[in-house]
Amino acid sequence: MTQSISGFTLPSTAPGDRLHRILASALDRSKEQETLDLTQPLYWPAEYFGLNQVTLFQQASAEEQATILAIANQDLLTEIYWVEQAGVGYMAKMVLLAETCEERILYSLFAADEAQHLCQIEQFFQQKPEFNQDSFLSFMGQLLESNDKALLLTMVQVVLEGWGLSHYRSLASHCQNDRLTATLQSFLAAEARHHATGVQQLQTWQYDQASLDHIHQALREFLHMVQVGPQRLVKAVEQGRGYLSPAIADKSLLN
Ligand SMILES: [Fe+2]
Ligand SMILES: [Fe+2]
């Protein structure tokens, strides 16, 4: 994969590396006292995923249900991690594409917001999550490589961050862990600013035909993904219950 803005393939520095100490001090980690219990990280219940209404889940043994739920939880948290990782790269790119001093400053501050979010979410993992390409992340990774600013503003800040805002709000309100709920709620003000900036900038934008075509194409792809449904959840059920033929998966989960 040649995508670099998203940071999906960036390696981490070794655990004892000096950068970690400087990073901890830059993040003011000294203020965080309580250690997180990561042994049973079931942050969202079956109802949040709609699994309680899925026959395959209802018929699963308690052990299978626990496996499915644990995977669904981990997938959701991992997705947040990679979205925030991509956010850092996106905002950094927008710093370089800025056309005014204010825009440059704003995107620098936004890059710091996303870096903070990334580090806060990282605390909920015992080790850095593995990157597993799925259609949503690969769509976002490809999008971020574009140099069409109108496409970036529309798709990332208006569509994805607008959707992300309500997604985070819903994740926070259904989360069963107070610390994660507070963390997600603390993202909302910044995400609302990122979204509003995109909306604002596009209000006076002079779109050219090429940009309109790119936006049209990206929206089609995005809506197609929405239509196809929760593929990761299907995989989680499959890992708990064994192989699901496309027909069974469709019938059980996607309707
Ligand atoms: Fe963020
Ligand atoms: Fe954001």
| CATH at 200 | 1.20.1260.10
Question: How many whole angstroms from 121 Cα to the centroid of ligand 1?
Answer: 10
Assigned domain for 1 exists: no
User: Dihedral angle at the C-alpha atoms of 91, 137, 167, 154, nearest 10 degrees?
Assistant: 50
Assigned domain for 53 exists: no
pLDDT of 31 over the 70 cut: no
Question: How many whole angstroms from 101 Cα to the centroid of ligand 1?
Answer: 23
Interacting residues of 44 by C-beta distance below 8 A, sequence separation 6+: 72, 73, 76, 171, 174, 175, 176
Please write the tens of the pLDDT for every residue from 78-122.
999 999 999 999 999 999 999 999 999 999 999 999 999 999 999
Assigned domain for 200 exists: yes
Output the average pLDDT for the chain: 91
Please write the tens of the pLDDT for every residue from 122-169.
999 988 899 988 899 999 999 999 999 999 999 999 999 999 999 999
Q: What is the DSSP letter of 5?
A: T
What is the domain extent for residue 117? Answer: 60-253
Region 211-216 average pLDDT:
98
First to last CA, the chain: 33
Assigned domain for 54 exists: no
Question: How big is the CA angle at 113 (ends 174 and 77), to the nearest 5 degrees?
Answer: 35
Question: How many whole angstroms from 179 Cα to the centroid of ligand 2?
Answer: 20
Question: How many whole angstroms from 175 Cα to the centroid of ligand 2?
Answer: 20
Distance CA 85, CA 10 (A): 10
Counting the structural domains of the chain, the total is 1
